[in-house]
Structures are given as C-alpha cells and as structure tokens.
Structure 1
Amino acid sequence: MNIFTLALANVRALRRRLFGLVALVSVAAAACLGALGIADRAQGATDADVKESSANRSVTVDKPDGRPDTPQLTERTVARLAKLPHIESVQHRAQVSFGVLTEAGDTVVLYATTYRPVLTPPVTESVRKDLFPLRPGEIVAPAASQGVDLSKLVGQEIDIETTRYVRQGEGTGVTSHARLVGVYDPTWQLDNPDAAYAADADVIKWAAQRSGEPEDSYLSTIGYDELTVVAKTAADVPAVTKSVQRLGYPAVALQQQLNALPAVLEMIKVVGQVLLGVLGVLAFVGAVTVTGALSRRRAQEIGILKAVGFRTRSVLTMLVTEMALVGAVAALIGAVLGVAMGSSAGALLRGSADLAPYVKGWVLLPSAVTLLLLLGLTVLVVVIGSLAPARRAARMSPTDAMKDW
C-alpha cells in the first residue's frame, strides 16, 4: 500500500473527526467565492458593457450662456460638431414645460424632453416592447411625480396644457391631448427631475409656441438646450472634450461618473477580499488544531508504523497528504456552496434597477484562473497549517509513540 492510498484510507476512517475542519473551511470558502464571483462579474460588466457604452463615451455640451461670441446650439452647431475627429454621433436635447391635468383636478408640471439613445430611461411599464423612437402625440413620463402616481394612466389619453407666447412676460394656455405610452423609474434623473419624453416634433412645436418663434426657424435661431457628443471609443473622450471646449462650448464628460462600480458592488468586492484573508486564517488555524489533536490520538498508530519500518519522511508525508485531501474536499464543497450563495445574492441584486446591469447570468463564478487559485490556496494553507504538528508527530521514536502521549 502506497502513502497516498494509506492517507485516503485514514481520511475515510477519520471522517467524523475531520467533519468540523471540512465544514469550517468549506463555509469560509463558499462565502469568499460567492463575494468574489459577484465582484468579478460586476467588474466584467463594467469593462465590457459600461466602459465602452455610449453613455461612457458621451460628452455633454451646454448652452454657451455668457459667451456672446459663441453660437447657440443650433442645427448648424450640430453639423459642425459632427465633423470633429473621433465623433460617432451628436444627439440633441430640447426641453419645455407643460402640465398634465389629472381626473382629480391636479396639475403635474413636467418637462417635455427629446429622446437621446445615449441616455435611455429605465422604463418600468409600457404599452409596447420598443417604445423609442416615440410617435407624435406620445409621452413617456416618470412613474410618480409631485406626489401623483402616473403609472395608473399608462395607455390612456391625457389632457395636457402648454403655453403660447403672447407678449414679453405673458402667455396663454393651450389645451391638447397626448397618450401616455410608458413610465420610467423616477429615481433616474439624468435628464433633470420630472422629464417626460415626447417626439422631437412635439417638443420643438411646444418650445416654439412658448418662445414666440416660428416653428420652422426655431432650431436655426434659438436651438437646443443641450447636445450630447458621442465619441467613437472611451479612449477618445478626453480629446473630444478638449475639441468641443476649444470651440467655446461648456463640455463635461460622463466618463468620470461611470468609471467606478456602484457602492454596493464595491462593498462586495472589499468583503470578498476580507473573506479571502479570513479563509486563510481559518484554514491555517483549523489545520494546526486538527492535525495536532489527531496526532496525539493516533500516537500508537504512528508508533506501530515507525516500528514496522516507516521512516520519518514517510509518516510526515502521510499526515500532510491526509490534510491535503481534507483541504481538497473542503474546497470542492465550498465551490458548490459558493455558486449557490453567489447566485442567490445575485438574484437579490438584480431586483435593483441600478445594479441589475452589473449582475448578469444565473451562475456567478469568478474567472477560471481566480477559481483555481482560490481552490489551490485553500489546500495549500491547510497543508502549511498541518506541517508543524505533523513534523513533531513524525519525529517521535517508536518507544515514545507507543506511550500514551
């Protein structure tokens, strides 16, 4: 019988005494693996989906207020910016306030906003799957605004009131109808609070009415409230930002807001790293304790092995191999439990609209390299922890080992 076979037989015979160590190490490994799996998947989503997303490649261009020498954000400005190097597209935003008249007699003031594909709101309820681009007469509003639940009106025709310019500082209300085709999560406020998306033609029509400017000349005179310039790659964003700023326009990149993971996922990442250290400590202390205790209880067995010709190195190898097998079993059980724990936690995180894009897939595991390193580290720490007590037991003479040590 070789050393490995003997060690395997001993582990089977001592499985009840080894259960505590296996449970301790496997649970610690599972918690560590689950946290690392979520953090790794979130980091992968950030690298693949977020860093090169259109939002992360976008530069917001505001109106040049206080800069009389810089043209407004007109159609000509859009064409000029589109010709800059490394530009993929230029998307516009116009806003104008309007009122929604409810059956209860309330008036909810919203801001009709043109839709930009770079910043799609998180729609929670809609009349059809693909809402955008919107058709004339359609509106997508926040699910709740100013204490009024607008989600109950999805699919209905609603009364709206816009303003028509009369003279300086004076306007008159104009009542019309629109269909509420969807609502979005009101916590999403990148287009300002109470933004309601409408077809470009409707927004420009209402904005022209409010300003007193003819509708057909509005975009060439007053222009848009904001432009979003989308760079071809995330690496092009700094250069694009400087190019826009050199033209005299205030320009701010969204990239800085998207470089980091959400706070919850950052916390999970830190927890995973802390648990990795805890796993190492638990595995080491558990191996030292269990190996020492078993060596004392198996003193006579070790004495017999030494008496029949086993060398110190052979006994040491047997004891360490036993702990290596225990560590391997604990690591494998921990991997299975870690998948279950990580997937359960991932399912909870997917319930959040902000976190769902970062936690995709049902089986959450870190990369294969990280997984193998974690499993190997678990076994290695258990082996290192068993070395000192195993060496002391292996060095005993047959006579001393046969005593009640």
Structure 2
Amino acid sequence: MWRWAWLTWRRSDSSVRSTLGLLVILTILVSGLASVTAGARSAVERDVLHSGGLTQIELSSIETGRSVRSLDTASLDQARGIEHVAEVVPDYVSSIYTGTRDPAAPTFDLTTHSWRPSTRPSITRGEVPQPLQPGQIVLPARSAGVDFTRYVGKEFPAAYTRATGERSGTPEHTTFTVVATYDPEWQLDGPDTAYVSPEAAATLAAAKAGMPPERYRSTTGATSAVVSVTEQQYVSTVAQELQQLDFSAAPVTDRVRNLPGVLGAADLGYRVGILVVLAIAVLTGLSNARSSIRSRLSELAVLRILGNSVSGLRRILLGEALLTGLLAGVLGSAVGIGGALLLRGPVEGLLGLEVPVTSMLPNPLWGTAAALTPLLGLAIGALVGGRVALRRDPYLLTRRQT
C-alpha cells in the first residue's frame, strides 16, 4: 500500500497533494496561536499573577483619562496615607554616561529609572537586594557593544549632568556598585536602561533639572509610581480612592488589559481552530477521494488487473491521505511555532513582561493534536469517500465504457 500510495501521491493530478497548502496554512494559524497564547500566559502568571502584581497599582503623572495629578512629595504622602497602602515607590528618570577618560573604560549612555516593585527583568548575573541601596546599580548585560557583566560586584564610575543654566550644564562624577545585570531583551522602560534606588534616581533627575533633590521631589515630582496594597481584595478600593483624588491610577493587571480573560478567549480560539481544521480535512479528504477515483478510473483498473483488490485500492487512497496529512501537520506546526517565536519580541513589548523561548512551546497535548488533526481528518474523509466511490469495481466500469 505505502509503495503505491507514495508513487501516486507524487503525481499532482492524482493525489490529495493539492490540498496540502490549505491544510498547512490552517495548521500554521492554529499552532502559532497556541504558542503565542502559551508564552503570554506563562509570562502573566509568573510576573503578574504570582509575583505581587495582583497587589500593585501604577500611578502616572501623565494624563491617561479623566484623572491627572503630579506625583510630588505631598501627593505621594497622601497616597501613602490611604488605608491598606503598604508602600509607594516613585520613579524618577534621568541618565548617566561615561565617567572617565580612561581609554580602557566602557563608553556608554544609559537612561536611569528607579527600581520598583513592578521591575522584574531576567537577571543574568548577580542578585538584586531588596531594597536596592542608593550606591547600587543594575545594568543591562550588554548595551552599545559593551559587556557589563564583568562589572558585577565592582565599582562602576559614571557621570551625570548638573544643570548650570537654561541650556548649559557640567558633568558630575560618581561611582556605583554593580549588583546585577539583566537580559537587555527585557525592555519595559525602553532599551539601554540602568536601575538605581529611588533616592539615587531623584538625585540624578534633580541635578539634571538644576535644583536640590528635595525641591525637585516637591515641585517637579516623579514620572510614575507603584503603590503596593496589603491584600489583593483591597486593590479595587484603593484604586478608586486614588482616582477620586485625581491620581491617574490603574492596577498593574490592567496594564495587560485583562489579559487572563483574553487568554481564555485565545485558548478557546485555538481549540475551535483544531475542530475547524478537522472538519475541513474530513470534507477535503472525502471530496478528493471521490474526484480522484473518477479521474483515475483507468489507472485503478490497471491496478486491479495487476492483482490489487478493491480494498487494496481503498488502502492506496488512505495512504495518500495519511502522507498528505502527516506532511501538512508537521510542516504547519513547525512553521507556526517558528513564527510565534519571531513574535516573542512584540509580545514582550505588548505585555511589558519577559517571555522565555521555552514558554512559547504549546501544551504537548494540544501541540500534538494540532499536528495530527490534518492526518486524522484526511484519513476519515478518504475512508468514507473511498468506500462510497469504490462500491463498483473500477475494472468492470472501464470495460463498460470501452
């Protein structure tokens, strides 16, 4: 059966091979959706649902709807005074750059942010203490061709700008202890970002603005802040109270736009997609089996003369369907998962979370189902279609027509 099936399958005008493209495309869509959903769900469960994100609220000083309020010292103190608020960590944005003329020193220009409870990059070396101290810094593992991992545990010279006029400034020099480096593919705050303590971040931002840190905090204020709530059940209440005080406040889980619910819909989507692929494969197998027999009547008659039984002809049709289904499932799944891996960066940007490559692999059960569905559907269609179309012997039908 397999020898004849392979020979007839290779003939484009006598096999179900013409259906290969359609089934491959459908399998790519299903397996790709399954992979993207798996990766997104893994990231959300790890970094949001299981890592304190359920008890965090983000404040922004930029208008994001009807609520807007600057995050100066007085405002943040008011937020800290709300019942069930455990901590408020502000984010101040500035920059540091090469702090020495030593030709052996790295050349860099990094944006600085406060290390916040919602900051959870993939650490490649070292360990981030809780809380991060003013003299400590977390750097990307690589930036602009510089490998910063070799500075972990060492003193790191840097410079920052202190404004001396409206459009003038002078460099100030300082040193940090590099406690850890993180995977630069994680870019919640953009590329080339260094993380320091909120106190250090405020000092750098104040110097760039040309004012003392306390004055900067009380006038300009932070660009954003993270509010930690004592228990998840109080997040909604605290968020509403913050909004009533004209803060731009949103639970961290809203940053992923209710993604758990979206992921549930996506889960349902690729399950329904598998059923759609199965239905189309069955109908395609049924149609191709019947049309193939009509177009190859004389060929099948020759096979009967050579000793093949009618049931043997049905097995040849089944073999063609199995070969096509197997190729469609394997090729479609491989391309679909590969395409999903290429989308890992955009998914990370959408979520603001790290999505490891391994988490992009779909559930083994559903991944296997997606790969085998075209094979199963075509096999069912070929069996039914072949049984119906070969109710009469092709040899006898050919003799009547001649």
Other-structure match for 1:8:
none
Q: Per-residue CA shift, 1:275-297, capped at 9, x if unaligned?
A: 95996786566434432244332
Change (3 A) 1:131 1:353: farther
The change in CA–CA distance for 1:113 and 1:50 in structure 2 (over 3 A counts) is same
SS in 1 for 2:160: strand
**Greater C-alpha radius of gyration:** 1
Does 2:147 align with 1:112?
no
Alpha-carbon distance, 1:256 to partner: 6.0
- For residues 247-258 of structure 1, what are the structure 2 equivalents within 5 Å? 247-252=245-250, 258=256
Letter in 2 for 1:47: R
Q: Does 1:36 align with 2:38?
A: no
Return the letter of the residue paired with 1:158.
P
Partner of 1:137: 135
Once the 2 structures are TM-superposed, how far is the Cα of residue 160 of structure 1 from its aligned partner? 1.8
Partner in structure 1 of residue 376 of structure 2? 376
CA shift for structure 1 position 61:
0.8
- Structure 2 residue corresponding to 1:18, chosen from 8, 19, 37: 8
1:298, distance to aligned residue in structure 2 (A): 2.9
1:323 corresponds to which of 314, 317, 320: 317
Q: Is the Cα–Cα contact under 8 Å of residues 162 and 174 in structure 1 kept in the other structure? A: yes
Task: Supply the distance in 1 between the matched residues of 2:222 and 2:25 (Cα, whole angstroms).
Answer: 52
Moved more, 103-112 or 365-374: 103-112
Equivalent position of 1:49 in the other structure = 43
Counterpart code for 1:402 = R
TM-score (norm 1): 0.61
Task: Answer whether contact 2:72 2:220 (CA < 8 A) is retained.
Answer: no
Q: Which residue of 2 aligns with 1:402?
A: 399
Change in 2 beyond 3 A, CA 1:172/1:15: closer
Secondary structure of the residue aligned to 1:228 is strand
Instruction: Spell out, residue by residue over 1:365-402, the C-alpha distance to the aligned partner (whole angstroms, 9 max, x if none).
Output: 53565556544323234456657xx53x5347986543
Unaligned runs of 5+ in 1: 1-10
User: How far apart are residue 227 of structure 1 and its match?
Assistant: 1.7
Counterpart-to-counterpart distance in 2, 1:324 and 1:280: 12
CA–CA separation in structure 1 for the residues paired with 2:30 and 2:73: 51
One-letter code of the match for 2:34? D
Give 1:44 shift.
2.6
Amino acid aligned to 2:176: A
Within the candidate set 172, 178, 189, 1:191 is matched to: 189
| Change over 3 Å in CA distance of 1:291–1:299 after alignment to 2 | same
Change (3 A) 1:224 1:73: farther
Structure 1 residues 47 and 399: alpha-carbon distance in aligned structure 2, compared to 1, 3 A threshold? closer
Where do residues 269-284 of structure 1 align in structure 2 (5 Å cutoff)?
Answer: 276=277, 283=285
Match of 1:197, SS? strand
Q: Show CA shifts across 1:46-67 (max 9, x none).
A: 2343267428755421249986
Distance 2:200 2:379 in 1: 66
Matches within 5 A, 1:5-404: 11-12=1-2, 14-20=4-10, 21=15, 29=23, 32-50=26-44, 53-54=47-48, 57=54, 59-63=57-61, 72-75=74-77, 77-80=79-82, 82-83=84-85, 91-101=89-99, 103=101, 110-121=110-121, 128-131=125-128, 133=130, 134-141=132-139, 150-151=146-147, 155=151, 157-161=156-160, 163=162, 174-179=172-177, 190-191=188-189, 195-206=193-204, 211-212=211-212, 224-229=222-227, 241-252=239-250, 258-259=256-257, 276=277, 283=285, 286-299=288-301, 323-332=317-326, 334-337=328-331, 340-341=334-335, 354=348, 357=355, 359-360=357-358, 366-367=366-367, 370=370, 373-383=373-383, 386=386, 391=389, 394-395=391-392, 400-403=397-400
C-alpha displacement of 1:26: 6.5
Q: What's the CA shift string for 1:222-254, capped at 9, x where partnerless?
A: 865422246899999776643431232112456
Q: Secondary structure at the match of 1:161?
A: strand
TM-score computed with the length of structure 2 as normaliser: 0.61
Q: Distance in 2 between matches of 1:168 and 1:301?
A: 92
Q: CA RMSD in A?
A: 5.6
**Partner amino acid for 2:32?**
I
Contact 1:101–1:159 (CA<8 Å) still a contact in 2? yes
CA contact (8 A) 2:111 2:193 kept: yes
Change (3 A) 1:282 1:99: same
Letter of the structure 2 residue corresponding to residue 175 of structure 1: H
1:51–1:234 contact (8 Å) kept in structure 2: no
3-state SS, counterpart of residue 194 of structure 2 = strand
Q: Counterparts of 1:229 and 1:279 in 2: how far apart (Å)?
A: 52
